[in-house]
Amino acid sequence: MKNKTQLILLVFLSAFLFGLGNPNTYAADSYKLVVAGFDWGPAVHKVILANAPSDARPSDFEVFVNRSSSEGEIPEAIRSGKRSVIYSYPSDENGNRQQGGTFVTLVLEVSPIQPLGSPIQYMRVGNRASNVWIDYQVTVVNTKNRQVWDQESGRIMPIVDEFDLDPVFNYQDKMTLSNAAFSPETKSEKSPLIIWLHGGGEGGNDPTIALLGNRAANYASDEIQVLFGGAHVLVPQSPTFWMQSEDGTYTRGDREDVYHEALFALIDEYVKSNPDIDPKRVYVGGCSNGGYMSLKLILEHPDYFAAGYISALAYSNEFITDEQVKSIKNIPIWFVHSADDNTTKPDVTVVPLYHRLKEAGAKNVFLSYYEHVTDITGFYGGEDYHYPGHWSWIYSHANTARTDFDGSPVMLNGKPVTIMEWLAAQKKK
């Protein structure tokens, strides 16, 4: 209540500063939020205003937000404040540009150092920390005509809205796994399946978190889909975290986890229930916790998957036997990791495993190894901006990983390729 009161006072103060008179004369209208995934996570980057003047300019609007949650505490510094409007245009109710009409879309500034933009918060809920949706309240003021928008009428989540978010898989009446599934519009006779396994902070029973906690929904984007000629995308969600052992603590391969059997059963059922999926082109990948589980599935079922693509591997090399290494040496795998990853330290996870696979004779295994995880857009500093070293999945989601461990380009049929171009070419014999 304190934060909401502060937000209202901030809006009213802004109105007075712009000479708008008594704020009680405002007439409230509705808005829609557009939530998109970015390299650092989700952000509200557009607000669509109903009954708005089409000739309004960006400078005519002030946008205020309040972030709260009944699930846990949000630090005071990032609970409420003002967002910057960088552009506006007349649109339809879904934010598509059009001349005239009664909707205006505001494009808001976003960046990795603007937590006020995120409708998701990483917080401790119960006995673990995870990403959760929060109450994201917006108030927009037109400083020219006293109009206010403070009632949310809906949300648009590009790409995410194209997934089926309802499936729930029941495994032997022991556990249930929610998941998100995308079916390609343009299908060849047989389409591949891309499986993405989320990190430790995206568990639960709402797969939108697994799609937006980082930019995982991008595997259903046009830019990646075209490389596969249309591909199914399956994003299962762990109720807690993939690396959970029977006693509720983490395993790094030293003890059995509780989810891999149910997860494989989910995947196998999905493949069998979609006869247009090519069983020779089933690809599994994930980050951190999901990287552990991707490798676990490959180790348990070396004849099932056509290839793996794994970021920030959390499976400790010391718990992988020489026999297991030999059993997967012929499976195509592309690892992505950063040298400064202090969460899944490369010297105890991916680097020794990569060398062991090469020494065992692996011909189609690669490791894109970065000194730091940097801003690939160039908007926030480029190579001079460093994300946390654990976030190497950025290079997979954006399809920018191109090099092997020694820095040389990964080649396919005599041409350099990206990680997704390479993945699309893999097929079981």
The domain spanning residue 98 has which CATH number? 2.60.40.2180
Q: Residue 429: inside a domain, yes or no? A: no
CA 34 – CA 28 distance, rounded (Å) = 20
Together in a domain, 262 and 368: yes
Given this model, what pLDDT does residue 187 score? Answer: 63
Task: Identify the helix (H) or strand (E) that includes residue 12.
Answer: helix 2-17
Together in a domain, 218 and 126: no
Q: Residue 276: inside a domain, yes or no? A: yes
Residues written for the chain? 429
Q: Residue 62: inside a domain, yes or no? A: yes
**Single residue among 156, 186, 217 that ends a domain in this structure:** 156
Together in a domain, 247 and 169: yes
Together in a domain, 41 and 141: yes
Given this model, what pLDDT does residue 349 score? Answer: 98
The CATH code of the domain that includes 301 is 3.40.50.1820
Given this model, what pLDDT does residue 188 score? Answer: 62
CA 294 – CA 309 distance, rounded (Å) = 8
**Single residue among 135, 156, 177 that ends a domain in this structure:** 156
Contact 315, 292 (CB under 8 A): yes
58 — phi, psi (to 5°)?
-55, -35
Together in a domain, 166 and 103: no
Residue 38's domain comprises 2-156
Q: Residue 325: inside a domain, yes or no? A: yes
Q: Residue 185: inside a domain, yes or no? A: yes
Together in a domain, 176 and 318: yes
Given this model, what pLDDT does residue 128 score? Answer: 82
Together in a domain, 279 and 332: yes
Together in a domain, 184 and 297: yes
CA 191 – CA 229 distance, rounded (Å) = 7
Together in a domain, 171 and 263: yes
Q: Residue 54: inside a domain, yes or no? A: yes
Question: What are residue 253's DSSP bridge partners?
Answer: none
Q: Residue 420: inside a domain, yes or no? A: yes
**Single residue among 156, 173, 188 that ends a domain in this structure:** 156
Contacts of 357 (CB under 8 A, 6+ apart): 325, 328, 329, 333, 365
Q: Residue 386: inside a domain, yes or no? A: yes
Together in a domain, 268 and 221: yes
Written as six digits, the tokens of 216 are: 């995982």
Contacts of 215 (CB under 8 A, 6+ apart): 37, 38, 39, 41, 394, 397, 398
**Helix spans in 235-337 (H):** 260-273, 289-300, 322-328
The pTM of this model reads: 0.93
Task: Tell me which residues of the chain have a pLDDT lower than 70.
Answer: 1-27, 186-188
Q: How many domains does the chain have?
A: 2
Together in a domain, 167 and 221: yes
Together in a domain, 168 and 225: yes
